[in-house]
Amino acid sequence: MSIRLLKWVLRAWPVLAVGVLFLAHWFVLCLAPDHSQIINKSIALQLQIFGGLLVLYSIDSNIGVIRGGSLFSDLRKYLGDCPLFRKAYVIELQGASIGALGGRARLSARRNPKSVEERLDYLQEQLNEIRKDHQEDITELSTSIQQHKEAADGLVGRLEQSISQIDSKVSAVSVGGIKFQIFGVLLLIYGSVTAYIT
C-alpha cells in the first residue's frame, strides 16, 4: 500500500521538484537575509532560463517524434535557405517517350447461308460465338475485379499501418513530454514571481 502511494505521489514530480526548489530558495534566503534581492534575481534568472530550455527540449522531442528531425536541423536548414548564400544548381534535362496500346479485338467471318438448315446452323454458331465472347468478358471482368480488390486490400493494410504509426506518435507527443513541459512552465512562473518580488 505504501509503495503504491509513493509511486502515485512521485507521478507528480514536476510539482514536487518546484516545492523542493522553493524550500532550497527559502533556506538560502534564511542563510543570507541581507542579500535577498541578489539571491531572488539570480534564482529567478536561472529558473527562467532552465524552464525555457526544458520547454525547448520538450518541443524538440515532439518534433523528433512527429517529423524525425530536431530544432537544430530545422534551424540549420532555415539558415542554409538564406538567399544571401548563393548555391550552385545544376539542371539536367532529358527527354523520354513512352507509348503503349492495349485492347482486344474479335474477328469473325461471315458467310451467306442459302437453305433454312444452313441458316439455323449459322444462327446456332452465332449464338455459340456470342456465349463464348460473353464468357470471356465475364472471366476478364472477374480477373480485373480480383486485381482491384487485391490492390484495395493492400492499400487498406498500408492505411491501417499509417494510422497505427500516427496514433503511436500522437500518444508519444501528448503523454511523453507533458511532464517536462509542465515542469518548465512551473519554473518559468516561479522565476517570474521571484523576479517580481524583488
pLDDT confidence band for 103 (50 / 70 / 90): low
What is residue 198's predicted lDDT score, i.e. its pLDDT? 60
Q: Tell me, yes or no, whether 39 lies in a domain.
A: yes
Q: Tell me, yes or no, whether 191 lies in a domain.
A: yes
What is residue 53's predicted lDDT score, i.e. its pLDDT? 84
pLDDT confidence band for 99 (50 / 70 / 90): low
Q: Tell me, yes or no, whether 17 lies in a domain.
A: yes
Residue 83 has pLDDT above 80, yes or no: no
**Average pLDDT of the segment spanning 120-132:** 89
Closest by CA position to 109, among listed 88, 86, 126: 126
Q: Tell me, yes or no, whether 180 lies in a domain.
A: yes
**Percentage of residues in the chain having pLDDT higher than 70:** 79
Greatest mean pLDDT among 79-83, 156-160, 190-194 lies in: 156-160
Note the pTM of the prediction, 2 decimals.
0.50
pLDDT confidence band for 143 (50 / 70 / 90): very high
In this structure, are residues 17 and 179 in contact, taking their beta carbons and an 8 Å threshold?
no
Q: Tell me, yes or no, whether 95 lies in a domain.
A: no
What is residue 106's predicted lDDT score, i.e. its pLDDT? 61
CA angle 13, 17, 19 (to 5 degrees): 120
Distance set, CA 3 to CA 9, 13, 15, 16, 133 (Å): 10, 16, 19, 17, 79
List the domain range (segments joined by +) for residue 135.
2-67+115-197
Q: Tell me, yes or no, whether 93 lies in a domain.
A: no
Q: Tell me, yes or no, whether 102 lies in a domain.
A: no
Q: What is the mean pLDDT of the chain?
A: 80
What is residue 93's predicted lDDT score, i.e. its pLDDT? 65
Please return the burial class of 113, using the count of CB atoms within 10 Å of its CB with bins 0-12, 13-18 and 19+: middle
**Average pLDDT of the segment spanning 72-84:** 78
What is residue 86's predicted lDDT score, i.e. its pLDDT? 66
Q: Tell me, yes or no, whether 55 lies in a domain.
A: yes
- Per the structure, the count of domains in the chain is 1
What is residue 27's predicted lDDT score, i.e. its pLDDT? 93
